[in-house]
Amino acid sequence: MPSKSVVPTELSDRWELIVRELGERLYDKRVRVLEAVGARPYKGLPVSDDEVRERYALIRRDQTAWEQLLKENTKTTKDGKTLLPKSLIEKLTKLEAAHQPAELPPLFPRQEVT
């Protein structure tokens, strides 16, 4: 049986303990919720792989749809860097590879980030 932690006597130490324990509990709860919900790639709604492929086929060559996709998924840091979720990039790469015939080069060639 694990030993219980001692509650600090100083007020600031108690607050730090409370914050740390609540943070751990919230993180554990978030992990459980994400496992229960599963992947929700389109506006928080469950989608099948066929629906994802159909949507990708629609936006693949549409510039305004790409702009909208990027606006919805990018974050800009304080120093001006634009960030995209790695999962989005991986999913788009897989969709493009599945969409391209073998003899054509992919729309997004894989580039190593340094």
pLDDT, residue 21, reads 94
- Nearest by Cα to 73 from 41, 31, 48, 39: 41
What DSSP string runs through the chain?
Answer: -PPPPPPPSSHHHHHHHHHHHHHHHHHHHHHHHHHHH---TBTTB---HHHHHHHHHHHTT-HHHHHHHHHHH-EE-TTS-EE--HHHHHHHHHHHHHHS-TTSPPSS------
Q: What is the pLDDT of residue 24?
A: 95
CA distance 114 to 43: 31
pLDDT band at 1 (very low <50, low <70, confident <90, very high): very low
Q: What is the pLDDT of residues 35-94, one digit of tens each?
A: 776 666 556 666 777 888 888 888 888 889 888 888 888 899 999 999 988 888 888 888
